[in-house]
Amino acid sequence: MSQSTDFAAVILAAGKGTRMKSSLHKVLHPIAGRPMLMHLLDSFAQLELKRTVVVVGDKREQLDAALANRDVSTTLQDPQLGTAHAALQAREALDGFSGNILVCFGDCPMVKAETVRKLAAALEGGAKVAVLGFRPEDPLQYGRIIADEGGAVSKMVEFKDASEAERACDLCNSGLIVAHSDDMWPLLDAVGNDNAQGEYYLPDVATNAIARGDKVVVVETEANEVAGINSRAELAAAEAQWQTEQREHWMAEGVTLRAPETVFFSYDTELAADVTIDPNVVFGPGVTVASGAHIKSFSHIEGATIGEGAQVGPYARLRPGAVMEKGSFVGNFVEMKKATLGEGAKASHLTYLGDAEVGAGANIGAGTITCNYDGYFKYKTVIGERAFIGSNSALIAPVTIGPDAIVAAGSAVSRDVGAGDLRMVRAEQVVKPGWADRFHDTMKKKKAAGKK
């Protein structure tokens, strides 16, 4: 793309998405925890677009809300008379803009910025219009692009209007098209609706350009880059494709995945080299893992920071705000939320740490919980360095356990414990000799009497 040519994008997202059968707008359905439209916008951010317009229709309020914090404008298509008509609705939002305009669909989240640059380069090479084509295994009912070996397009036709010979062509139209604003608007204005559906089709921009003697070229890409998402099955396929690419990426970056097909990443997962991930691990948004960390099987991690050499799981759950410092450890059935586990600290099993700060080298016994919520407010628990919390203890926040302190097993601690102190909070044990034997005898006699 020439540095002197400005660029704008028009993203079409006005359709009803009826095949999704959802109250959520189609382009807001997530892939790897991020709406598909946001994947597309993040990719296009690399193009340094001057303006971006999303053409909306059904469920407009959802899109307006989702885009509120982005430098993106929306414009309404009503009524919906086809893709060319939809693109024309962006003209007012792009008033005064001079440069290349990309028109694409919001349900194609895998489109790469580099691919768009190739389309722009075709304009620099003398074409008036550049379109993106692909060759799927099964062309289905995609529109066809008729072009020579050099990529010069002689005709674009919708499947419903194509002849048998044209349908035999396997070069299909992705829907992406680029032209300079000086050409795009007149070509869109010239699109008619004399076709089987009575709609204004975007590919007729290229058809009209050819008719007036302009050069139109096709740039080809892989089918999986431009796969549209119109159903839950296609959404699942896109998720699978994205996850496969991420697994390959992280292994190439030095991460060990013991069973790659069972590990699921989020759009923003960050892993350092020499991280090891066992089977059946799920990463939600906001996770960073440092070198040497080991994530064991069946762990679910979201919004967490895992330090160098830390160990998680198996069967651990880290929720937003969880921080594990260097060499710390959580084992099976440990849950952390808005809690920090200091360097070398351990919570080996059956523990809940919420709104807590655990010092370096501390040991949290099995069954320990921080009681952080009174039904109205959250409170913090602070556990000092090298403190030892015995099994089955309840730390009732707000409470501070000092460094090197010991909380005896089975204690319910509601007051601060000083450094180096022992706190034991238990009811007095009472022994009644022979009571259990007498109880069993009485119950057995009652049961026998009942049967008679």
The single-letter code of the amino acid at 57 is: G
Structural domain contains residue 299: yes
Domain count, the chain: 2
What pLDDT, on the 0 to 100 scale, is given for residue 426? 86
User: Among 208, 225, 242, which residue terminates a domain?
Assistant: 225
Same domain, 129 and 206: yes
Q: With respect to residue 58, please indicate whether it lies within any of the assigned structural domains.
A: yes
Gap between the Cα atoms of 23 and 59, Å rounded = 9
Same domain? For 98 and 202 the reply is: yes
Same domain (yes/no): 371, 406? yes
User: Are 82 and 132 part of one and the same domain?
Assistant: yes
Residue pair 200/84 in contact (Cβ under 8 Å)? The answer is: yes
pLDDT of residue 4: 61
Residue 430, domain member (yes or no):
no
Q: Please give the radius of gyration of the chain, using alpha carbons only, rounded to the nearest integer.
A: 31
355 and 266 in a common domain: yes
| Domain identity same for 304 and 385 | yes
For residue 420, is pLDDT > 60?
A: yes
pLDDT for the residue numbered 3: 47
* pTM exceeding 0.85: yes
For residues 236 and 266, membership in a common domain is answered with yes
118: in domain: yes
Write out pLDDT tens, residues 372-383: 999 999 999 999
> Is 83 annotated among the ligand-binding residues?
yes
> Within a domain: residue 436?
no
**Is 357 a domain residue?**
yes
Could you give the angle at which helices 204-211 and 181-189 cross, rounded to 10 degrees?
100
Residue 154 lies in a domain: yes
Catalytic one among 249, 300, 349, 440? 349
> pLDDT tier at 198 (50, 70, 90 boundaries)?
confident
Does 352 appear as a known binding residue? Answer: yes
Query: Is residue 82 part of an annotated ligand binding site?
Result: yes
Task: Residue 330: count other Cβ atoms within 10 Å of its Cβ.
Answer: 29
Whether residues 355 and 262 fall in one domain: yes
**Domain with 203 in it:** 7-225
Judge whether 391 is annotated as a binding position: yes
Share the mean pLDDT of the chain. Answer: 94
> Domain with 387 in it: what CATH number?
2.160.10.10
Tell me the mean pLDDT in the region 36-62. 95
- Tell me if residue 29 is catalytic: no
Distance CA 158, CA 392 (A): 69
Residue 243 annotated as binding site: no
Is 299 found in the same domain as 246? yes
Do 288 and 396 lie in one domain? The reply is yes
The single-letter DSSP state of residue 225 is: G
